[in-house]
Amino acid sequence: MAPTSAYRLSVIAALALGCRSGPSTIVVSEPREAPGVADLPLERIRRGVAASSSQAPDTDQPEGRVRAAVLRHREALRACFERVLPASPEAEGRLTLSFVVETSGAVFDAAADTSTPALRPVRECVLALVRPLTIDGLRHPLRVTFPLQFDNPPLELDVPEIALYPRMRVTPPESVAALVHAGSGDLTVDEVAAVLGLRLNDHLQCYLPSLRERPTRRAEGAAHFTMAVNSDGSVGDVTLGGLDDGVRATGECHLNLLRTARFRPTGRRSTLALTFAMRPQETPSSPLAPRR
Summarised one tens digit per residue, pLDDT across range 88-135 is 888 899 999 999 999 999 999 999 999 999 999 999 999 999 999 999
Q: Are residues 41 and 107 in the same domain?
A: yes
Q: Are residues 91 and 75 in the same domain?
A: yes
The domain boundary residue, chosen from 151, 179, 200? 151
Domain containing 181 equals: 155-278
Cβ-based neighbours of 71, under 8 Å, separated by 6 or more:
43, 52, 57, 77
Residue 269: pLDDT band by 50, 70, 90 thresholds?
very high
For residue 102, tell me if it sits in a domain. yes
For residue 4, tell me if it sits in a domain. no
User: In this predicted model, what pLDDT tens digit does every residue of 156-196 receive, in sequence order?
Assistant: 999 999 999 998 887 766 665 655 554 567 888 988 988 89
For residue 7, tell me if it sits in a domain. no
For residue 29, tell me if it sits in a domain. no
The domain boundary residue, chosen from 104, 134, 151? 151
Q: What's residue 108's pLDDT?
A: 93
For residue 5, tell me if it sits in a domain. no
| pLDDT, average across residues 11-25 | 47
Q: Are residues 257 and 219 in the same domain?
A: yes
- Count of the separate structural domains present in the chain: 2
How far is Cα 150 from Cα 125, in angstroms, rounded to an integer?
Answer: 13
- Higher pLDDT, residue 104 or 35: 104
- Given a cut of 80, is residue 26 above it in pLDDT? no
The domain boundary residue, chosen from 118, 151, 184? 151
Q: Are residues 46 and 145 in the same domain?
A: yes
For residue 28, tell me if it sits in a domain. no
Q: What is the domain-level CATH number for residue 189? A: 3.30.1150
Q: What dihedral angle (degrees, nearest 10) is formed by the CA atoms of 233, 85, 194, 176? A: -100
Q: Are residues 176 and 272 in the same domain?
A: yes
For residue 220, tell me if it sits in a domain. yes
Phi and psi based region of residue 284 (left: phi greater than 0; alpha: psi -120 to 50; beta: remaining)? beta
Q: Are residues 200 and 265 in the same domain?
A: yes
| pLDDT, average across residues 225-233 | 95
Q: What's residue 23's pLDDT?
A: 47
φ/ψ (deg, to 5) at 27: -80, 120
